[in-house]
Amino acid sequence: MTSPAKLTVALVQQSNTDNAQHNMAKSMNAIREAAQKGAKLVVLQELHRSLYFCQTENVDVFDLAETIPGPSSNALGELAKELSIVIVASLFEKRATGLYHNTAVVLEQDGSIAGKYRKMHIPDDPGFYEKFYFTPGDIGFEPIQTSVGKLGVLVCWDQWFPEAARLMAMAGAEILIYPTAIGWDPNDDIAEQTRQKDAWVISQRAHAVANGVPVISCNRVGHESDPSAQSDGIAFWGNSFIAGPQGELLAEANNTDEQILVVEIDQKRSENVRRIWPFLRDRRIDHYKDLTKIYRD
C-alpha cells in the first residue's frame, strides 16, 4: 500500500468529566471538526472516554472496560467510514474476565479495525497506579498498516523508552503516535513543572530525530481530582504537539485549553532526512547485545 506524499493529520486535546457518554460525544464532535479542516488521520488522547481513573485502585472502575470490537470501537469505526478518515483511539480493553489492557485501536477509512496496540510499559507511581488495572501488552512493537501509512502507535509511558520508538521504526513505521495522559502534581513549583514538561517534549522530539519520522503526541488537559482525597489530584499539562522528522515543531497546543491541532506533514521528508542523517545505517548491532539486560552489573 502506497502512503500519500502529503498527509493532513490532527490531534484532539480535551478535558474530561466522569460522564463517559459526554466525553465520547466531545471526542466525536472534535473528530468531525478536524475532518472538516481536511484531516485524514485524527489522534485522540489516552483513555479519552473517562477521567484518568488510575489515581486510585478501585475494583469498580473495571466496569468502564469494554471489548474490542465493542461499543466505542464500533461507534468510532462508523464515524471513520462516514468521514473517510483514519482514527487512532485509546480504550480500556476487557480482553477476558480479570484480564484488561490499555489499548490503542486504529479505525480504517472503511470503518474496519486496521489493528490495535496494547501498552507495553505500565507505570506504577503515586497517582499513576496503572499496574492495578492493566496487563502489559503482548502484541509487541508492530506498526499498523493503514490507507494513510504505516503507523507506529505507542501509549503514554512508552514515550520515555527509545527502544520502543526504534523497534517501531525498524519495523517500518512512518509516523510515531503517542496517545497520552500526563500532568503535574499541583504542589510542584513552576520550575519543577517546567522541567517535567520540557523533558517530556524533548524525549519525544528526540524519537523523531533518532528515527527520522514525524511524531504525534496527544495529551489531555485540565485538573482531575483524586477520588480518595489523599492528594490534590493531577493537573494535566496538555502541550500536545506534532513534530517533523528532524524534531521540528509543526504545531503545538498550550497547557490550559482544549484544542484541535491540524497540520499537513510531508511524508517524503523522512526519506530525505534519513539520507543525510543515516542513523539506521550506522547502528552497531554487533555491540548492542547488552541492551537485552536489565542492567550491567
Question: Which residues does the annotation mark as catalytic?
Answer: 46, 119, 156
| 273: its cell numbers | 532526512
CA dist 205 and 245 (Å) reads 9
CA dist 209 and 189 (Å) reads 30
Cα Rg of the chain (Å, integer): 18
Sequence-distant (6+) residues with CB within 8 A of 9 are: 39, 40, 41, 42, 43, 175, 216, 242, 262, 263, 264, 265
Sequence-distant (6+) residues with CB within 8 A of 93 are: 65, 66, 67, 68, 100, 101, 102, 103, 116, 118
CA dist 273 and 116 (Å) reads 28
Instruction: Give the Cβ contact number of residue 78 at 10 Å.
Output: 13
DSSP state of 281: T
Residue 108 Rama label (left phi>0; alpha psi -120 to 50; beta): beta
Peptide bond before 69: cis, by omega within 30 degrees of 0?
yes
Q: If you search the block for the grid coordinates 495529551, which residue do you land on?
A: 219
Q: If you search the block for the grid coordinates 501509512, which residue do you land on?
A: 149
